[in-house]
Amino acid sequence: MTLVADRVSIRLGSRLAVVAASLELDAGQIVAVVGPNGAGKSTLLRGLAGLQRVTEGSVRLDGVDIASFAAAALARRIAFMPQARMVHWPLAVARVVALGRLPHRGTPGGAAASDTSAIDEALATMDLAALAGRTVTELSGGELARVLLARALAQQADILIADEPTAGLDLAHVIQLFEHLRRIASGGRLVVVALHDLSLALRYCDQTILLNRGSILAAGSSRDVITAEHIAEAFGVAARVATLDHVPIVLAGRTLT
């Protein structure tokens, strides 16, 4: 399974948010999308998920333009977790997670055994079983983030695209999340995540795409992309990439401007 972006440009109003981005992403990988604020990360992810119209170029899944997919068919192939963390309806946690199974049903009726299994697995993965009966409007921001991620996991799509999935999570749940994302990728699926923490990208992601001002500054293995030189160019920060107890980390110093 391969997801390809071929010279994709995306215009938001009068501004080109993504400029001629070309990528080839294969199953079995975790891919990080990083870059400074306003670099185009969220827009690129929405374009890859088929949720944002591509102004120029195309996005293809296994050779087929995703624009040709029906909405339900595309949702069975690509799950998306947005950056926004808002739920306005007083639904139980388990009900929100169950929404991830809708693309697999003809109607929103009774759940099949596979739906129940997927929902239970997603709740357990995100440590939400004890909160399954709670109303989402009563949750903290971090708990709500875990619920929305569990909804995307319950979808069990071939591709999981998550926009800043670690936002609001405590350290233990960040580690737990990436351990599960690794299991997903190892099972033959593709995971694409937007991140602000470069150390997480180095530690857990096979490939990294570095965006700057809407363009791809660098793409490749995380160790090749997340370098002091690239950090200085994209973020304007002097940094050093080091290793502590065999774990790669980024040590940020002073700003360069």
CATH of residue 125's domain is: 3.40.50.300
Mean pLDDT throughout 32-46?
97
pLDDT in tens, 169-182: 899 999 989 998 99
Torsion angle, CA of 179/246/236/216, rounded to 10 degrees? Answer: -50
Measured at the CA of 83, the angle between CA 58 and CA 174, to 5 degrees, comes to 115
63 in Cβ contact with 240 (< 8 Å):
no
Query: Of 147, 150, 38, 174, which is closest to residue 86 (Cα–Cα)?
Result: 147
The predicted pLDDT at position 107 comes to 47
- Looking at residue 182, the DSSP 8-state letter turns out to be H
Beta strands in 13-104 (DSSP E): 15-26, 30-34, 56-61, 64-65, 78-81
Q: What is the pLDDT of residue 111?
A: 54
What 3-state DSSP class applies to 189? coil
User: Which range of residues forms the domain containing residue 161?
Assistant: 2-255
80-96: average pLDDT:
89
| Size (the chain), residues | 257
pLDDT in tens, 112-168: 778 899 999 999 988 999 999 999 999 988 899 899 989 999 999 999 999 999 998
The mean pLDDT value for 28-35 works out to 98
How many structural domains are present in the chain?
1
